[in-house]
């Protein structure tokens, strides 16, 4: 293809690309809800803001802990056999602890009447129920995954003790150039 033909086609290709991509961007931005905009009772939201904000020190030229809490992302995670799901809070765009590898702050709250009670505080790029697990004190085990680089990281598994999630065991993973993951032995989590 000649350079002049390519130059005349380029604006059309860019316009088509934008036309197809913009609806996808708009759809994905609606899937995340900030704590500020979440449909939670005022008391539950206030409880969460107080706890999340307490994890941050006010620093010059950085958002306040309250601002960080209100901009954090909210979702739900089903961990108990019955009852409401727990409230998952993931560090949002103002959270200065979020790293370049996708790791960030994660909190889980359980509803207790009209209040929210912290049951987990940790981090990683994801949190989910541990596969093939049983219920401990009414809740599934969970795991967080950490990226340390492009190809390796760690998995931390937590078990509910009736009040909070506590570390149960940890292990590392490595990914080879073909995308195959190799998992290390399970061991005690480092503090």
Residue 110 pLDDT > 80? yes
Residue 158 pLDDT > 70? yes
Domain ranges of the chain: 1-31, 33-183
pLDDT score of 191 = 63
What average pLDDT does the structure give for the chain?
81
pLDDT score of 34 = 93
Residue 165 pLDDT > 90? yes
Return the bridge partners of 126, or none: 145
pLDDT tens track for 4-58: 333 333 333 333 222 222 222 222 233 679 999 999 999 999 999 999 999 888 7
pLDDT tens track for 71-91: 999 999 999 988 899 999 999
Residue 169 pLDDT > 90? yes
In this structure, the number of other CB atoms found within 10 A of the CB of residue 137 comes to 10
pLDDT score of 31 = 62
For the chain, percent of residues with pLDDT exceeding 70: 83
104 CB contacts (<8 Å, ≥6 apart)? 90, 91, 95, 97, 98, 123, 124, 125
Instruction: Look at the block and give the residue holding tokens 């602890």.
Output: 97
C-alpha distances in angstroms, 90 versus 8, 32, 94, 106? 45, 10, 11, 5
Kind plus residue range of the DSSP H or E element containing 49: helix 42-53
Which of 113, 91, 92 lies closest to 44, judged by CA?
113
Residue 60 pLDDT > 90? no
Q: Tell me the average pLDDT across 166-186.
A: 90
Look at 2 and 124; give whichever has higher pLDDT: 124
119 CB contacts (<8 Å, ≥6 apart)? 86, 108, 109, 110, 160, 163, 164, 165
pLDDT score of 62 = 84
């Amino acid at each position: 293809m000649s350079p002049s033909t390519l130059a005349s086609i380029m604006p059309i290709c860019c316009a088509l690309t934008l036309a197809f991509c913009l609806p996808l961007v708009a759809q994905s931005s609606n899937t995340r809800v900030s704590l500020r905009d979440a449909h939670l009772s005022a008391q539950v939201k206030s409880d969460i803001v107080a706890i999340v904000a307490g994890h941050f020190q006010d620093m010059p030229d950085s958002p306040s802990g309250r601002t960080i809490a209100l901009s954090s992302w909210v979702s739900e995670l089903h961990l108990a056999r019955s009852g409401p799901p727990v409230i998952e809070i993931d560090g949002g765009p103002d959270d200065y602890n979020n790293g370049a590898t996708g790791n960030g702050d994660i909190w889980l709250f359980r509803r207790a009447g009209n209040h929210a009670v912290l049951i987990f505080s940790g981090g990683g790029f994801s949190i989910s129920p541990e596969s093939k697990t049983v219920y401990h004190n009414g809740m599934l085990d969970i795991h967080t995954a950490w990226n340390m680089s492009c190809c390796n990281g760690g998995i931390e598994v937590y078990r509910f003790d009736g009040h909070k999630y506590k570390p149960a065991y940890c292990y590392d993973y490595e990914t080879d150039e073909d995308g195959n993951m190799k998992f290390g032995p399970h061991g005690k989590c480092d503090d």
